[in-house]
Amino acid sequence: MFEKLLPYDTAFVILEAYVRYFCEFKKITKRAKIRFEHRDWSGIQSDMKERALLYRNWVGQTTEDVRDSLDLKLANRTEFWIEVKQRYFEEIRNFNTRNVAETFYNSVFRHLNPGLSANPETMFVHATGSYREFKSVYPIYHTFDFTTSVPTTIERMLSLYPFEAPFENLARDVRYISKTLEAKLNSLNVHWKYARVELLKSVFYRNKGAYLVGRLFVHDSSLPFVLPLLHQRKGIFADSLLLDQNDVSSIFSYHRSYFLVDVDIVIEAVDFLKSILPTKRFGEIYSSIGFEKHGKTVFYRDFQRHLIRSDDQFATAPGIKGMVMVVFTLPSYNMVFKVIKDRFEAPKNITEEEVKEKYHLVSRHDRVGRMTDSHMFEHLVFDVRRFSEELLADLREHTASRISIKGNQLTINHLYVEKRMTPLNLYLETASDEERRDAIDEYGKAIKELASVNIFPGDLLLKNFGVTRLKRVVFYDYDEIGFLTEYHFREIPEPRDDYEAFSAEPYFHVGPQDIFPEEFVQFLFPKREWKAVFRELHGDLYGIDFWRGTQRKIKRGSSIDFYPYDESLRFRNRYGRRKKRSPKPKS
């Protein structure tokens, strides 16, 4: 009797699942404050991993629920899904998270209909509105005018973010924050009475930090105003005040884990963040606060708009060609596209499924600012006329099973999209002496920081690392990545005789997980002067003590503290007791 309601019933199964998913999402984010108050760092790591898997699990379960409720023939009818989409939209059009709900619907539809490209009739390919019609009844931020004095206002500011844990020394923190802010205002020739701060009510949590995020208004312009808070044994304290766009951009970077932050009207929070992160696309900002799947949707829409506005051709990405991936880029768009090859070149000994699992591992692991985020797409359609002949030949030769061409349409059935960086090996060739030294130092730091979160890159060659806009070195080639604790770091045994000493083959047993750090010196750097700089700055990476020591710390549950902003910006280094530093050696 009620068969006409089947599209609505199907839409409501998806909608009900979305609401339950979003509630679970918020419950995890709300736990972050309690974790911070109790210094439960392992708990917050667990929550970050749980949330990273939450979307995937809900979409998978919802797909099964819809599939079980529908006749197979009905489930494959385009006309049916056009009506399901319309019924779903009617229910969500007044949701304050309508944009995220649309993405959830798309994910379920794609799982139910594998192999289909994006279809505007059956999916929310284009945004159904600006989403900015949703405004909170109460402002999402506090406003602070400096009417009496800077310290008085800062003290009032901190009082509006209560924690069930004491501040270590609130008066000291107020003094440091005020001093830093006044110095900035003086540099801008602005009296503090003419400044204003707007601070989001939501606190941003990640790893061991809690961040108060806002903007500083001076005249008609605004600057970031971000207060990182830490909690150690003696209590909570303000670690720094960040007022520079680049410093704040690094905190919200695509190579860091996503924040745990409780927001209601997501687009309002994103718009606020965009005002202090003007160089970041909206998709990146969505991802940074935990809505990475919608960030992917927003990226796709932005990419399609860019293709309409541009006419340059996709071409092979600069650098040494990979053994596992064909990598290409669009010069006018700062992303790279990576397609798994049909056959891997020697000596790579890994399967396609293992490569995919490595990328999935990175998506749910703490990236500690040293591994780039990526979006995975299936059946992405391009205009084949936008591809250079060289790139097309490369794709046909190495990825024939992953592409299909019909008329002017080129479809790639599986690929990864990442932010474009300058390969480290190319960067070092053209950098100044000072830039080169800084990049080599960054390279060593990247290896050490990855080790601290139990990640060993496997392939440490310079071509597998990139240099970002902010000159940070980031790892981006994951096919050999593994957990540090699963490797055996060994010294090469002394040869027993001349035969062993001059043997072309190893004279000792080498297991698949054996690593000999002393060999790194032979292949990491092609130039002697680069090797000398690295040995000076990070020579401990050539020995086993660093590696085994880090393994022991990980197994004990110890963690190493790294800060997503420059150490020089920390109050303890700006205003605390300073030690005399020896002059920086010249390269």
- Residues annotated as catalytic are 373
- Which neighbouring-strand residues pair with 209? 206, 230
Of 474, 50, 59, the C-alpha closest to 296 is: 59
DSSP-assigned states of every residue in 251-308: HT-TTSPPPB---SSHHHHHHHHHHH-TTS-HHHHHHHTT-HHHHHHHHHHHHHHHHH
Of 454, 385, 464, 469, the C-alpha closest to 420 is: 469
Q: Are 26 and 262 in contact (CB under 8 A)?
A: yes
Q: Please state, in angstroms and as integers, the Cα–Cα distance from residue 495 to each residue in 6, 316, 489, 498, 508, following that order.
A: 76, 45, 18, 7, 9
Spell out the long-range contacts of 319-326 with Cβ–Cβ below 8 A and sequence spacing 24 or more. 319/423, 319/425, 319/426, 319/463, 320/423, 320/425, 320/463, 322/477, 323/348, 324/348, 324/350, 324/355, 324/479, 325/479, 326/394, 326/395, 326/398, 326/399
In whole angstroms, what is the distance from residue 77 CA to residue 79 CA?
5
Bridge-based pairing of strands 488-489 and 514-515 is parallel
- Taking the CA of residue 378 as centre, how many other CA atoms within 13 Å lie in the half-sphere pointing to its CB? 9
- Taking the CA of residue 550 as centre, how many other CA atoms within 13 Å lie in the half-sphere pointing to its CB? 24
Q: At what angle do helices 150-159 and 170-187 cross, to 10 degrees?
A: 130
Instruction: Tell me how far the alpha carbon of residue 573 is from its chain's centroid.
Output: 28
